[in-house]
Structure 1
Amino acid sequence: MIPDVLTKGQFDTVYNVLSLAIAAQLFTAVFLLAVQPRVLQRYRQALVISAIVCGIAAYHYFRIFGSFKAAFVSDAKGGDGTYTQAIGESFNEGYRYVDWLLTVPLLLTELVVVLALARKLQASLLWRLIPASALMIALGYPGELSADNATRLIWGTLSTIPFLYILYVLFVELTRSLDHQSPSVRMTVSRMRILLFAAWGVYPIAYLLPVLGGDGAIAWVSKQAGYSVADIVAKCLYGILIYRIARLKSFADDAGFAKAEGKEEMDGTHEEIIETRR
């Protein structure tokens, strides 16, 4: 439920966290596009997908930011007073769900793609992960729109079912495909899955704040901040880890490329290259 009134501190908190999310998503996308030559051709698709994820998120955060500024106004000089909902305006939470509906399947796709798995296995994983992720987002949306806690809880519970299935695929099914990866790649993938689990764990907590008794402006501001920070972690930091995996696999695949990229990095992966080829 959108609050009728925000204090200046609450308004500034949402304003600043949305601004932070825009900057993080936008410049992570630029970075991922700029570093394409730093990995082998076969791994660049994953970086492009990651950049697209951040680009989509940046666009929707621009829309969220604009919706927020239009929804709350202050009559005080210099904006020093309280902020109330503008007549005829409303904050559009739907932008987040459109963003997630597009980006969450892509997040899972880039992880599978960067590992360069056998095509049959890759297709099998994607056919399970993508529909489950879309269903997870779609089931959460009706609850987000509802002001009734029981309705919110029902849709949130339904949304949790595909979420748990995604975790099963990532932590059980995907693990079986990592035997032929280098130790550093396996470690990075393990960290990515934990990162994704931790970041995604923020969303249901923020989603359930009204159900847990966190009504009012404080709960709403906390939800916006939680969603935004989780998006930065799940997309920007995740994208940088995708880049690291692409680099490590490029070094392992082509010793000449590793050497051209720098002796220090080559030395750091030399033992892994030898171990992988044994």
Structure 2
Amino acid sequence: MLVDPVMPQYTKLSSLLPTATAHPSVAPIPTVIPDLPVYQELGHAGHVALWVGFIIMLLSTLAFISMAWRVPVEKRVFHIIATFIAAFATISYFGMATGGGNSFVHTIASKYHKHTDPVHHIDVFRQLFWARYVDWLLTTPLILLSLALLAGLNGADILVTLVADAAMILTGLFAALGETKGQRWGFYTIAWLAYLIVVYQLVVGGRRNASRRGTGTARLFGAVGGFILILWTIYPIIWALGAGKGKLSVDCEIIWYVVLDVLAKPVFAIWLLSTHARTAPTIEGFWSHGLNNEGALRLDDDEAA
């Protein structure tokens, strides 16, 4: 009889093989359900804050228009700038409060899960109110122009300040739209560098020129200029905690921005108008009288006929 040489060895080792039991000992395999996308969007508190911001900006616009009509046109430059600041903010807040001027930005966040790899990724969609950046792009140069006129900055310094401010706002918008960390924090860093140029122009050039205009002007410029710089330094901190890191909810971020906008626009303008506008030097020439006879276009009698 032929015997398979493997069988005896198999028989000896059969006790080591698993056998069927009445109670299986295999534990259930854990099941991991993929995370759904996370949506961070406007809530009730943020919506109310936007309407409050709109009402404050609208009332401020009407108040500044009324104040402008009470002073001669030669002294009206600060009133007109204040009116434009509040008017642009009014339009922006109305758009955001009525559901416009926003979109969702997609980013990928990392999350720890104990049943899978140490880190896996989830999709995050955060609501971005880009209308706010349009507002800032129009209003922050006007705020700086008010400070520049108060201090008496020359044209070259004013141009550098306004261009740096525009670069700061645009790179802030690009940072908010970035989908990767490199994009967001890279543009965020560039925005800070542009802001430092603005700070330098106000602190160094602005204070130097304001001191030449007398003690009163120097003190006022130091107070309102310092007030604006403190507020503007808080803005990027809120951005980093909100759009940057996602530590603040969209509602909390909006409430912070409303408070800062009210302080940096209507409150700043009222402070400046109530303390300086009436004693400001008059502006003659084209601002007050338009083109004079030498600069105006005229038609001769023959040409008119």
2:129 equivalent to 1:93: yes
The answer for the alignment partner of 1:109 in structure 2 is 145
Matched, 1:235 2:262: no
The Cα of 1:163 is off from its aligned counterpart by 0.2
Q: 19-28 or 158-167: which moved more?
A: 19-28
2:188 equivalent to 1:152:
no
What corresponds to 2:303 in structure 1?
Answer: none
In the other structure, the counterpart of 2:279 is 249
In terms of fraction of residues, the more strand-rich structure is 2
Tell me if structure 2 keeps the 8 A contact 1:114–1:245: no
Summarize the Cα distance change of 1:69–1:163 in structure 2 as closer, same or farther, 3 Å threshold: closer
Q: Which of these residues, 38, 44, 47, is aligned with residue 79 of structure 2?
A: 47
Residues 214-246 of structure 1 show CA distances to partners (whole Å, capped at 9, x for unaligned) of 44xx53222211222111111111111221243
User: 1 CA distance for matches of 2:219 and 2:261?
Assistant: 23
Q: Tell me the distance in 2 between the aligned counterparts of 1:201 and 1:5.
A: 25
CA contact (8 A) 1:3 1:220 kept: no
Alpha-carbon offset, residue 195 of structure 1: 1.3
Distance 1:26 1:109 in 2: 22
Q: Between Structure 1 and Structure 2, which shows a larger proportion of helix residues?
A: 1
Q: 1:206 aligns with which of 211, 235, 238?
A: 238
Q: Give me the TM-score of the superposition, normalised by structure 1.
A: 0.71
Correspondence for 2:163? 131
- Alpha-carbon spacing, 1:41–1:3, altered in 2? closer, same or farther (3 Å): farther
**TM (normalized to structure 2)?**
0.65
Any idea what the Cα deviations from partners look like across 1:42-88, whole Å, max 9, x if unmatched? 331121011111101100110011127999xxxxxxxxxxxxxxxxx
> Which residue of structure 2 aligns with residue 193 of structure 1?
225
CA-based RMSD of the aligned residues comes to 2.9
CA distance in structure 2 between the aligned counterparts of 1:163 and 1:22, rounded to whole angstroms = 27
Return 13-22 or 204-213, whichever deviates more: 204-213
Q: Give the letter for the 1:151 counterpart.
A: Q
Larger Rg: 2
Point out the more displaced range, 159-168 or 122-131.
122-131
Identity of aligned residues (%): 21
Contact kept, 8 Å, 1:54 with 1:236, in 2: the verdict is yes
Report the number of matched residues.
Answer: 225
Contact 2:171 2:190 in 1 (8 A): yes
The aligned residue for residue 4 of structure 1 is: 39
SS at the partner of 1:181? coil
Unaligned runs of 5+ in 1: 72-89, 254-278
Instruction: State whether structure 2 residue 53 is matched by structure 1 residue 21.
Output: yes
Equivalent residue letter for 2:131: Y
- Give the distance between the partners of 1:3 and 1:199, measured in 2 at CA: 31
Cα pair distance change 1:210/1:187, threshold 3 Å: same
- With over 3 angstroms needed to count, the CA separation of the structure-2 counterparts of 1:5 and 1:122, relative to structure 1, is closer
Residue 226 (structure 1) aligns with: 256
Distance 1:152 1:212, change over 3 A: closer
- Counterpart mapping for 1:56-95 below 5 A: 56-67=88-99, 91=127, 93-95=129-131
Given that 1:64 and 1:95 are in contact with CA atoms closer than 8 Å, whether structure 2 keeps it comes out as yes
Q: Give the structure, 1 or 2, with the largest relative contact order (CA under 8 Å, sep 6 or more).
A: 1
C-alpha distance 127-142 of structure 1, shift in aligned 2 (>3 A):
same
CA distance in 2, matches of 1:34, 1:210: 37
